[in-house]
Each structure stands twice: as C-alpha cells, then as structure tokens.
Structure 1
Amino acid sequence: MPPSRRQLSLIPLSLSLLLSPAVLAQEPLQLVATTGMVTDVLNELGGDRVEVKGLMGPGVDPHLYRQTRSDVTAMTRADAVFWNGLNLEVQLADFLERLEKRTPVFAVGEAVPREARMADEEYEGQPDPHIWMDPARWRHAVEAIRDGLIELDPDHEAAFAERTEAYLEELEALDAYAHEVLQSIPGGARVLVTAHDAFGYFGDAYDLEVLGIQGFSTESEAGLARIESMVDLLVERQIGAIFVETSVSDRNIRALIEGADSQGHEVRIGGELYSDAMGPEGSYEGTWLGMFDHNVTTIAGALGGEVPEGGRLGRLGEAKEEQ
C-alpha cells in the first residue's frame, strides 16, 4: 500500500527522493475548482484519479463570491486550482494570482480563442466570461482541463484523454440537439429575456436575440430607466415569456411582469434557467450536460418550439422527483 501524504511528510528528504513517481502518483490528485461547471468537468475527466472540492454550489453567484477561511486553506493545500477566469470570479482573482506563484492554477476559460470571445459592454477590454453557454466554446475549456490534468499526472495521460474523448462526444450530441429544438422556435418568438446577460454566447450559437436586464456581471444594478425601457419593449414586441435564473434575484423579472401588466400586456415566467450555477448536487441538472439540456429544453418549449418530454435523454427532473 503506498504511503499517505502525511506519512510522506514524515519521511526524511533523502529517503523520499528515492520513492518513484509511480508510487507517489497512486493517491488521487487533490484539486479545488471554483464554479460548479468546472468542478463537474474535472470529476468527469479525472475519474478516480481526482478528488475535487468545489467552492460554489447550486444557486451561488460567482460574480459576487468571496473566499472563506476554509476556502483559502483548501486552495493553499491543493495540488492545483482550476477556475473559469475571464473576470468571472472577480473577487478571487487577486488571491489566485498570488497563489499561482506556489501552486499550479489553471484559468480554463482563457483557452477560448480571443476571436471567439464576446466583449463585455460594461467593462472595456473585458470579455463576456459565460463561455459554458456555448458547447463549441466550452469545448476549449474542457480540453484545457484535460491538459491540466495531464500536466499534473502524466502517467495517466491515456486515461484522461479517453475520458475526454467520451465527454466531448456527449457535448457534441447535446449541441446537435440544441440546434434542432431551438430552430423549431417560430421566427417572431426568438427573443430570450433573462435577469442578466449570461446568455450572450447561447444566443450567438443558436440565433436567438438575448436581452438581459442587468449586464454580464450581477454586480451591476438595473436602473429604473432600464426597467421601463424593457417593459416598453415587451409590450411593443408582444413578448409573452421571460426567464428567471437560479443564481440571480427575480426582483427585476417581477418588476417587468408588473410593468407590462400595467400596460395591459400579460407576460409569464417561461421557466427557471441555470446561468452561473448548476442544479442540485446529485441530480442530472447538477452536471454541465444536464444544466445545458435543461436550459435548451426549457427555452425552446416556452418560446413555442417542439421539445421531447424530459429533454434530450428523457432525464430532466428525474432526481428531483426522488428527493
């Protein structure tokens, strides 16, 4: 049985140098990930070679998240830290930049080519960080996670590569499903109104007009003028469905509904979408594949498209019913 990390720390340096990398590599990598999406992909690609602590669970907004004392301890003790980057986890950025001097830190969102990044209209020079909303762009992050795992544990490169290939096949199948069902939305209804601008890449990928009440970051507040202009737009264009998000307050969405109602136009909530966080832990929606399937199916169905019951695989809601 290989020695534990604690046992290794008690072995004299001269003796520990004689231990082969193969022996040391028997323990799983101890990793920390920021968002649920990054955590999920790390677990999928790493398999039993990784133990991943995710910092941000269901309903947690990464734009506003601040590390706790236990988070700092976990990150400083980890073999590596994986984060989205691209100005998403803005409150963690300074700490991770300092940590990178002593611990491997992988900003997987940086793998998306610059020409494929959308600009953040509020913060000049900054990209929209919500790359997981488009499978074609998210693929780059998945491959960056694979490469990070191989760098940390090269002895298991073949296993990481095999698991990544299988995962990307599922990603491509989900992307094909999304194109099919979202294309079935009637032309006049192809408008996606959400609490904040997390769906820009989604709209770009599937030819939907996306209107967010807030900007890319939930730190920005939607002013009264913005709410009023959005209400006028809903009424003028007869938009009948808008969407709430699990990680963002529905206060502004409710204001839109009330404002439209005061002008004699009925707007309903088309459903709840996963934007900056995934679904409940242990559920299908608690995976990136599941959250994306949920969003695609919910949006297409609410806007008049044709969708199968239960989504692409018939799995939507299955774990929620068991709980």
Structure 2
Amino acid sequence: MNQSSLHLTDKLTSAAVVLSVLLLVQCQDSRSIPYPATIRPVSFLIERVAGSRMSEAMVHPGRNPETYDPSVADLMLYRDCRALFFVAPALDGWAANFQECPSYAIVPEAIGVHHHGAHGAHGNSPGKVKGGENGISGSRNYVDPHFWTDPHRIEQALPRLQDLLISMEPGSAIRIRSEIRILAEQMRSLEEEAARRLVHLRGKRAVLMHPTYESFLAEHGIEVVAIVEPVPGKELSVKDWRNLLTLKPVDFIVHEKQLPIRQSRILARELDATIVELDPMGSSARNLTELLRNQLDAFADLRVD
C-alpha cells in the first residue's frame, strides 16, 4: 500500500470514529442517568431510594471494579450526571477522579487494604491465608468495603446516603427520608431472618475465594479461616497450597460466580469441603432485596456435618 492510500485510510478511520461518537451522543441524549454507580449493587441501592431508572451500573458483572478504566462511551453516557456513587476508596477508588460529575463513596472510611497473614496486602499475591499475628483479626485499621452483602452494614450506610441525596434533591427530602426509613426496616428484618436461618452454620469454618462475604459471615458466627484471591492465569504457589491444606477441618468454600472455579474445586476436594456459589454483583438479580435474598437462601440451604 502506498503512502497516499495509507493517508486516505487514516482519514477514513478518523472520520468513522468522530461519526460514531456523534451518533452515540444523539442516541444517549434521551436517556440521561442522574446517579450512575460503579457496580450493580450500588445502583440497586440508589434506585431503591431515588427511584427506578435513576441509576445504573458502569461496571458490568464480570469486569473487575477495582481496576476498571472508564471508556469514552462511559464519559459520553454520564456527561450530564448529578453524581457518581461508588463503594469505597479501597475498592473502586478510581471513581473519585471521575470528571463528568461529583463522585461520592458509600463507605468513605474504607481506605485501607486488607492484610491476610504472611502473604502480604490485598492484591499482591494470588493466595492469602489467614493466620498468625498478622491474620485477619489483626487488621485493626481495616474497614471492609463490601457493605452490600450485609444488611446491617447497608443500614449503617443509609444516613450518609440520605444526606447526599437530599443535598442534591432538597425538594424531595420528605420522600427520600421515607424511603430510607422503609429500607432500614427491611434491612433489620432481613438481618433478623438471617440470624434465624443461619443458626446451623454458627461455629462452622469457611474459606473465601475473595473477601466479599467476610463481615456477613463473621456477624453470624462463622469463622473465616482463609481468604484466597485467585489471579486469572496465575496458579497458587506451593507454599500457598501447603498453608491452605493445613486448615482442616473446613466446612465450606465460598466461590463467587465472577471468578474461575477450578481452584475452588481443587480446594473443596482436598479439604473435603462443600462449595457454595454466590453472585455478589447481582448479575441475575432485579433489585437489592433479591440480591440479598439469593445470598441468604444459598447459605441457609447449605448443609454441612
């Protein structure tokens, strides 16, 4: 191909990109989202209080919210937003730098990383095993950002959410306070139901493939003996496996739908444990209540000796 042909191809490519962006803008003008959220569970929470079609998730299930990089389409779609809601600086903190509208963390105090024993900080090693002086219980300054899996934690986050939404919609203050009050009652009811239905798991030992459910399980008397964070394409080291296999007895492995299941199956076989598979991103749920109820049903149906 000669130089003039290459130049023409470049021009045509540039024109196509500009045209695509313009078409994107025209298509999206009619569906402005006032309160986008980084992940689906947060958008469920916002919609529950602010109303349907007031929020949607930027990071779709299957993508990693911790490392997500907003696309041009995201910037165009949410250019007229009033606020972007994210989980916490320790989880999806990139949202704090979103330029299209102000951004607010639901759990702003969750700024530290979680240390899992001798394997270092969150994200630095494919396997993290609780144990020793630096185990999970020794992380004094750690605040778990995964609030949306625990009705009690959701209830604790509601006063801040109420204040933020009222500051942006003062004319809707009465309605927002009413929705927050109803939601808080629902969360208390779910927490009481969980306490009744999970009593058979009290004292059981669990291994998590990600720390998402740690605070919820701890609240119901279930001991988290290890947290393993598999990195796609990277196997656990021999040392990691040896540490994990010394943890017997283990009653169940909490596997998350978004993660590869191979390592969960190996651990379940070697530890003679049951796998419970959960979907913390709510890819099949229609709302916050359904997400939490699916989670509760999965644990309540778990039968371990």
Same fold (TM over 0.5): yes
Which of residues 100, 106, 109 in structure 1 aligns to 2:107?
109
Which of residues 259, 262, 266 in structure 2 aligns to 1:248?
259
* Secondary structure, counterpart of 2:144 in structure 1: coil
Structure 1 residues 205-220: aligned runs within 5 Å: 205-215=219-229
- Alpha carbon RMSD of aligned pairs, Å? 3.2
Structure 1 residues 98, 194: CA separation in 2 closer, same or farther (over 3 Å shift)? closer
Tell me the matched-pair count. 253
Which of residues 272, 275, 278 in structure 2 aligns to 1:273?
278
Match of 1:120 in 2: 114
Structure 1 residues 162-177: aligned runs within 5 Å: 162-177=178-193
151-160 vs 201-210, which moves further: 201-210
> What is the distance in 2 between the residues matched to 1:255 and 1:70?
40
Task: For residues 6-57 of structure 1, give each alpha carbon's deviation from its aligned partner in whole angstroms, at most 9, with x where no partner exists.
Answer: xxxxxxxxxxxxxxxxxxxxx9972211111110011110125x62231123
* Secondary structure, counterpart of 1:53 in structure 2: coil
Match of 1:74 in 2: 77
* TM-score, normalised by the number of residues in structure 1: 0.68
Question: Quick check: 1:145 aligned with 2:161?
Answer: yes
Structure 1 residues 145, 186: CA separation in 2 closer, same or farther (over 3 Å shift)? closer
Amino acid at match of 1:299: F
Question: Quick check: 1:97 aligned with 2:102?
Answer: no
Structure 1 residues 216, 151: CA separation in 2 closer, same or farther (over 3 Å shift)? farther
178-187 vs 167-176, which moves further: 178-187
Match of 1:312 in 2: none
Structure 1 residues 268, 200: CA separation in 2 closer, same or farther (over 3 Å shift)? closer
TM superposition shift of 1:250: 1.6
Structure 1 residues 231-310: aligned runs within 5 Å: 231-233=245-247, 236-237=248-249, 239-258=250-269, 260=270, 266-269=272-275, 271-275=276-280, 277-280=281-284, 285-304=285-304
* Secondary structure, counterpart of 1:76 in structure 2: coil
> What is the distance in 1 between the residues matched to 2:79 and 2:235?
34
Question: Quick check: 1:224 aligned with 2:238?
Answer: yes
> What is the distance in 2 between the residues matched to 1:274 and 1:205?
20
Amino acid at match of 2:210: H
Task: For residues 132-183 of structure 1, give each alpha carbon's deviation from its aligned partner in whole angstroms, at most 9, with x where no partner exists.
Answer: 2322222232332222211111001111111111111111110001111112
Answer 1 or 2: higher relative contact order, Cα 8 Å, separation at least 6: 1
Which of residues 133, 139, 151 in structure 1 aligns to 2:149?
133
* TM-score, normalised by the number of residues in structure 2: 0.71
Amino acid at match of 1:199: Y
Structure 1 gaps, min length 5? 1-26, 306-323
Which of residues 160, 163, 166 in structure 1 aligns to 2:176?
160
TM superposition shift of 1:296: 2.3
Question: Quick check: 1:200 aligned with 2:214?
Answer: yes
* Structure 1 residue ranges, 4+ long, deviating more than 4 angstroms after superposition: 123-126, 215-222
Structure 1 residues 250, 298: CA separation in 2 closer, same or farther (over 3 Å shift)? same
Structure 2 gaps, min length 5? 1-30, 116-120, 123-138
> What is the distance in 2 between the residues matched to 1:217 and 1:175?
32
Structure 1 residues 62, 218: CA separation in 2 closer, same or farther (over 3 Å shift)? farther
Structure 1 residues 219, 65: CA separation in 2 closer, same or farther (over 3 Å shift)? farther
Contact 1:227–1:255 (Cα < 8 Å) also in 2: no
> What is the distance in 1 between the residues matched to 2:65 and 2:107?
14
249-258 vs 151-160, which moves further: 249-258
> What is the distance in 2 between the residues matched to 1:174 and 1:132?
13
State the identity as a percent.
19
Contact 1:257–1:266 (Cα < 8 Å) also in 2: yes
* Secondary structure, counterpart of 1:51 in structure 2: coil
